[in-house]
Amino acid sequence: MRKSCFSKVAVITVIAAGLAIVPAAAQASDAPAASTPTVAPPLIVGPMASHTTSAPTGADCLAAFGIACYRPADLQAQYHFGPLYAAGDNGKGQTIVIFDAYGSPTIRQDLATFDSAFGLPAPPSFTIYMPEGNVNYNYTGLPSPVNFHNKVVGNRIGWAYETTLDVDWTHAMAPGANIDLVIAPVPQNSPLQNAQKFALSNNLGTIWSNSWSSAELAYHQDATIQNEDKVYSQAAGQGITAFFATGDSGATDYDQQGNLFPSATVTYPPSSLNAVAVGGTQVTTPTASISSYQPESAWNDGYGAGGGGYSTVFAEPPDQSAAGIPDPSGMRGVPDVSMNAAVISAALIYESFDPTVGPGWFSEAGTSLATPLWAGTDAVMNQADGPLGFLMPHLYQIYENPALYSEAFHDITVGDNSFAGVTGYPAGPGWDAATGLGTPDAAGLADALSHTTPAP
């Protein structure tokens, strides 16, 4: 019989203590000072669900914790990947490039355990790059991940959980794609951008997954953002789609002291005109498993909410203007798209790096989950439809055609992203600042994309 750590006592203790939330601007104690904000992944780590290599079932998690712990087959079914996989479209020939700080010392063996548990093949190639030198994985003295709020574990262990989530779930959605993991030595925009410049100069891949960002209000000058954005302008011009998580604090986000701003702000780089901003949804009524689409609402489950709103730095891009999205400010609206991100409908990962808890299965959530889900989706789309280049123009072309839009997206019309006393934005018909265009119907999206044209 499989042993687990499930117990009603554990449920009360873990949930009452709060899940392990990594604020997007948490400061790393060993990161050097910089003119640009320190970043941490918008990641929520739930309770450990099992200490064995056998994955817990969704029924186990619902009974023990009152939250889902979805498997690859569940989210593949939720977003209708089955017809594409049956046709052989699983991301083959594509390369997804993932950018993280620190990485994980056990990522290869942990991915192998994840794959074995769920019957997934190993990726055709999995290459790890450390262009600025090897990372020192010294976890001695670091606290348990349930104490992320002390800001120290906005770095090493927290980033190892992020890295594991990114790798597992890009692979889960696009099991035929290659994975390149590029590691920055510290969690700051400049080293992470150096990692991206390395990927650009070495032509690593055309799909980028980035589960990190900082509040626009955390920057001292708009010019700093605009200067940093040159990297993403170059990437988009080379046909690269950089997916970025919009954050887990609804219509606000964290300052550099780890406190939420008391007013609305969006995060950068998601607000860039050269990135695809990924927000969050929740399966409204979590189930033990998923075999067909389950209704979703804007993510706002008490643990976090999907980032969204309007930039104060970037004007509305032509793609959004042409599509006529509701934008009273005349500025860039985020997110562009969303996918499952909620704690109540979390996804499983396996880790063996954390000395504070030992190896086992965790549920994880946040727009840090939604972003690799979309990166994997894009890999499948690029195989099914041929090279798409920068994806944003295609998405808004679809939105301009009601028939294609209804085929390609689940329009999320329920919920909002108000959070921590900051009034957010309601979900509603069509694009909105809580969920963007909505979540994909992968088979429908592949067909709809075949009717779009690349940006000039």
Mean pLDDT of 385-396: 97
pLDDT in tens, 54-113: 899 999 999 999 999 999 999 999 999 999 999 999 999 999 999 999 999 999 999 999
pLDDT in tens, 194-214: 999 999 999 999 999 999 999
Nearest residue to 165 (alpha-carbon basis) of 149, 145, 147? 145
Superfamily of domain 8-449: Peptidase S8/S53 domain (3.40.50.200)
Mean pLDDT of 328-345: 96
Which segment of 10-24, 345-359, 369-383 scores lowest on mean pLDDT? 10-24
pLDDT in tens, 350-368: 999 988 888 999 999 999 9
Classify the C-alpha dihedral 62-64-66-72 as positive or negative: negative
pLDDT value of position 29: 36
- Residue 10 in this model has a pLDDT that exceeds 60: no
The DSSP symbol for 102 reads S
pLDDT value of position 8: 27
Is the model more confident about 15 or about 133? 133
Q: Are 374 and 438 in contact (CB under 8 A)?
A: no
Which segment of 158-167, 186-195, 362-371 scores lowest on mean pLDDT? 186-195
pLDDT value of position 13: 24
Distances (CA, A) of 139 to 41, 172, 194, 212, 353: 18, 28, 25, 21, 9
Crossing angle for the helix pair 156-173 and 367-385, to the nearest 10 degrees:
30
Going from N- to C-terminal start, the domains of the chain cover: 8-449
- The model scores a pTM over 0.75: yes
- Residue 252 in this model has a pLDDT that exceeds 80: yes
- The fraction of the chain above a pLDDT of 70, given in percent, is 88
Residue listed under structure tokens 């873990």? 14
- Residue 18 in this model has a pLDDT that exceeds 60: no
Q: What average pLDDT is seen over the chain?
A: 88
SS3 content of the chain, % helix, strand, coil (to 5): 35, 20, 45
pLDDT value of position 456: 62
